[in-house]
Structure 1
Amino acid sequence: MKILFVGSYPPPYGGVTTHIKRLTNLLFNVGYNITILDVVNGDFKKINKNICIIPLRLKYIKLIVQSFSTANIVHIHTSGYGKYWRESLLIILSKISNNKVVITIHGGLFPEYVSKCSAVSIFCLKFWLKYSNKIIFVSCLQKNAVKKYILSKEINKFEIIPAYLPEEKGDMTNNDLKNSFVEPDKNYFNVLVMGNWLELYGLDIFIYAVKKLIDNGINLKANILIYIYSEPDLSYKMKIESLIESLNLRENVTFIPETDDTSSVYRVTDIFVRPTHTDGDAMSVREAISFGIPVIASDVCERPEGVVLFKNKDPADLAQKLQHVLDNFNFFKIHVSDSEPRAYGEKLVQIYSNLF
C-alpha cells in the first residue's frame, strides 16, 4: 500500500513532525511505501527506496502530481490553524487522483479557531468533512467544536485517536546528556518543561511557580530543565531569559540543546511539567508517562490517567502541585509506572486497511 502524508518531517521536532516521523517508521516496518509532502521544509530527500520527502514547492510539481497519482491513501496532518483553503485544494487533487483521504487535526487551539471562523473558512471545513473518508481528532474538544460550530452530518467519519506513538528509546547506556549537568547530588530532582518559544507554552507560568516556592522559603531540591525544539520567537525568548535573570533563577535553570534523540532528555528527567495555556493531546505528556516520569499539567484538556492537574495560568497552584509531587515523589513514581499509555499505531493501520 502507498500512503502520501501531507505535513512536515523533522527537523524541527514538534508534536506533529515527530508523529509523522514515527508513523512513517511504523508503516515502513510493516511494508508500506511512504511519500511525505512537506509543507515546511524545502529539501527533497530520499530516505530509502520506500520513503521519500517532497517539498510542497512549485519546482517539484511533477513529483507532487505523480505522488498523488500513485498513492492509495492521502493522509493530511494539520494543526487546523487557518489555511483551510490549502487543505481543500489538496483534497480536490486527491479526489481527481481517486485517493482515499484521511485528515488528522492536531492543534490544541483548533476549537478556538473554529469558533471564530469566517464564512469562507466554514465552507472549507465543511468541504473537508464532506469529501474526506475519515477525520481524526486527537482530543474530544476538537470533535465537540466541529459538532457545535460546523454542524456537520458526517459524524460517522469521526475518530478520536491521540497522536502518541512510542519512540525507539535509543542507547540506554548513552550518558552524554546526563554528564552535562553540573549537579551530581542524587537528592536533587530534574524537573523538565518542554515546548516552543511561544507564550501559549506557559514557560513564564512555570518560572513564576518556581520562584514562588523559593520565596516561600522552601529548599527547592530541583534542577530546572528547559528543552525548546523550535526556532525562537526572539521577543518571547528574550522575555523568558530576562525573567529568569530578574528572578535570580539562572543557577536553577539549564537550557538543553535540541537533539534528535529526545529519549535522552526524558532519561535525565524526574518530573515533567506541561504548563500550556491550551492543548490538543500532548504527545510529550504520554511520552513522559511511557518513561515512568510523574507529570504535572494544566487542566486545559482531558489528560491521561495519573497526571497531576493544576489550574491553567495559575503559578501559585502549579507551585503547590510541584511541591506536592516533590515531597511525595516515590508515590507518584510508582503510580505513573502503572499507567503506561497505549500506542495508537495499530488503530491507524486498521483505518488504512479498511479504506484500502
Structure 2
Amino acid sequence: MRPKQDILVLGTVPPPIGGVTIHVKRLCEHLDTFAIPFEFVDFRKVNKVILLKKIWNSKIIHLHSSSPVFRFLIALFCFFCLNKKLLLTIHGNIGRFGKAKNLLDLIAISLSTVPIVLNDSSYELSMRFNRNTVLISAFIPAIETVELGDDLLRSIQLLKKSLGCVYATNASNINFDNEGNEIYQISALINLFKERPKEGLIISDPSGNYFNFCVKNGAIVPENILFITIPHDFNSVIKTVDCVIRFTTTDGDSLSVKESLYWGRPVIATNVVSRPSGTILVDNDIVSLTYVLDNRELTGNYCTHETENGAVAIIELYKKILKLIKE
C-alpha cells in the first residue's frame, strides 16, 4: 500500500494568472524553500478517482478553490474519511455568492478542520460556524520577479513620458458579483480615464478576456489607457507606475494591494473589505474615486511596506496539526 503523504496541497497554478493561482504557486515555492515535505495536485488536470486516492493517502489536505460546490464536495469527503484534516482557504469574501452557494460555503466551513480566511469580515462570519477559524494573510512575497518584455516596457515608458501620472489596475478575468456588477469595474475605470486625458491607466488583463468583453460592449479605449493582454508578472507593472487602483465591488485579501504596498506604491482601494494600513480608501462609487484622484498627494506618507508572509503562518499551522495527529 502506498505510504501516507503528510501534506497534500490542492489548487491551481498559472496559467491562468490570478490571485488564487499566484498564491498557490508561491506557497508551494516557499514550502520547497523551507524543505517542508508535501505533494501538490492541480485538481483541474487530474482524474477524479486519482484525486480521491490522493486525498485518502494524505493526512492534511489544504484546499484552494474558488468554487463553493467543489469546496463543499471536498469538505464532505474529508469529513467522512477517518483522520483527514482539511484546511480550507476561502479566497474572496464569504457571502459574495447567491444563497445556495453561500450555504454550501458555510457547510464546508463547518465541516473543515481549520477554515483559513483572509479578512476581518470573513473571520467574524466563519467563527460562527467553526471556532477553529484562523485569519492568515494571502500575501506571500515572490521569490523572484519575472521582468516585463522589452516591447511592453517601451510601451509603458512612452505612456509615462507623455502623461503626468500613470496608474495601474488588474483583473484576472471578467467576473460579476451577486448583483450582476463587474467585480473589477474596468468598464467604469475606462470611462473615468476618458475624462482624464492627462493621466494614464495600465490595465493588467493577462487572460485578455476583459479587453474582449469591453470591445464587444462597444467600449472605445483612449490613447491614455494601455491594456496588457498577455501573461505577465503584475509585480513588474507595479514597479513602473505612480499608484495602483483596486476599484472592486467585493474582495478577499487582495494580493495586488499588498504587493503595491510592499513595493512602496500608493494604493487607492474600495472600502468593501478591511484593507491593510497605508491604503487610501474610497467608497464603491466613481464620485468618491474621482474626489481622491483630484485631491490626493502621492507621497510616502500613504505607503507602508507589507512584510507579513502568509506562508510562514501556514507552515506553522501545518506543523501544529501534524504534531496533534502524531500525539
- Equivalenced residues, count: 310
Shift of 1:172: 6.9
Alignment root-mean-square deviation, CA: 2.8
In the alignment, the residues of structure 2 paired with residue 205 and residue 281 of structure 1 have an alpha-carbon distance, to the nearest angstrom, of 22
| Cα deviation digits, residues 282-338 of structure 1 (max 9, x gap) | 1111011111111001111111111111110x112211212323xx22x2xx12444
In the alignment, the residues of structure 2 paired with residue 231 and residue 39 of structure 1 have an alpha-carbon distance, to the nearest angstrom, of 24
Give 2:117's aligned residue: 137
Q: Which runs of 5+ in 1 are unaligned?
A: 43-54, 215-219
In the alignment, the residues of structure 2 paired with residue 224 and residue 28 of structure 1 have an alpha-carbon distance, to the nearest angstrom, of 37
Is the CA contact 1:169–1:263 (under 8 Å) kept in the aligned structure 2? no
In the alignment, the residues of structure 2 paired with residue 288 and residue 262 of structure 1 have an alpha-carbon distance, to the nearest angstrom, of 10
Percent identity between the two aligned chains: 25
Shift of 1:186: 7.8
In the alignment, the residues of structure 1 paired with residue 305 and residue 239 of structure 2 have an alpha-carbon distance, to the nearest angstrom, of 18
Give 1:223's aligned residue: 200
Give the 5 Å matches for 1:47-196: 55=46, 57-58=47-48, 61-62=49-50, 64-79=51-66, 81-92=68-79, 95-96=81-82, 98-108=83-93, 110-113=94-97, 116-117=99-100, 122=103, 125-126=106-107, 128-130=109-111, 132-147=112-127, 151-152=128-129, 154-155=130-131, 157-170=132-145, 177-181=152-156, 182-183=158-159, 185=161, 188-195=164-171, 196=173
- Return closer, same or farther for 1:86/1:231 CA change in 2, 3 Å cut-off: farther
Q: Which runs of 5+ in 2 are unaligned?
A: 176-181, 323-327
Is the CA contact 2:8–2:58 (under 8 Å) kept in the aligned structure 1? yes
In the alignment, the residues of structure 2 paired with residue 273 and residue 266 of structure 1 have an alpha-carbon distance, to the nearest angstrom, of 10
Q: 2:251 aligns with which of 263, 279, 287?
A: 279
| Cα deviation digits, residues 7-32 of structure 1 (max 9, x gap) | 21111111111110000000011112
Give 2:308's aligned residue: 342
The code of the aligned residue for 1:189 comes to C
SS in 1 for 2:95: helix
- Return closer, same or farther for 1:338/1:72 CA change in 2, 3 Å cut-off: same
Is the CA contact 1:212–1:316 (under 8 Å) kept in the aligned structure 2? no
The code of the aligned residue for 2:96 comes to E
In the alignment, the residues of structure 1 paired with residue 163 and residue 143 of structure 2 have an alpha-carbon distance, to the nearest angstrom, of 29
The code of the aligned residue for 1:101 comes to L
Give 1:28's aligned residue: 32
The code of the aligned residue for 2:21 comes to T
The code of the aligned residue for 2:90 comes to I
In the alignment, the residues of structure 2 paired with residue 84 and residue 168 of structure 1 have an alpha-carbon distance, to the nearest angstrom, of 28
Q: 2:12 aligns with which of 8, 15, 35?
A: 8
Is the CA contact 1:271–1:295 (under 8 Å) kept in the aligned structure 2? yes
In the alignment, the residues of structure 1 paired with residue 196 and residue 135 of structure 2 have an alpha-carbon distance, to the nearest angstrom, of 38
Give 1:324's aligned residue: 295
| Cα deviation digits, residues 211-240 of structure 1 (max 9, x gap) | 3445xxxxx2x2210111336268733356
Is the CA contact 2:68–2:105 (under 8 Å) kept in the aligned structure 1? no
The code of the aligned residue for 1:170 comes to T
Given the two structures, how large is their TM-score scaled by the length of structure 1? 0.77
The code of the aligned residue for 1:11 comes to P
In the alignment, the residues of structure 1 paired with residue 248 and residue 89 of structure 2 have an alpha-carbon distance, to the nearest angstrom, of 21
Shift of 1:280: 1.2
Is the CA contact 2:59–2:85 (under 8 Å) kept in the aligned structure 1? yes
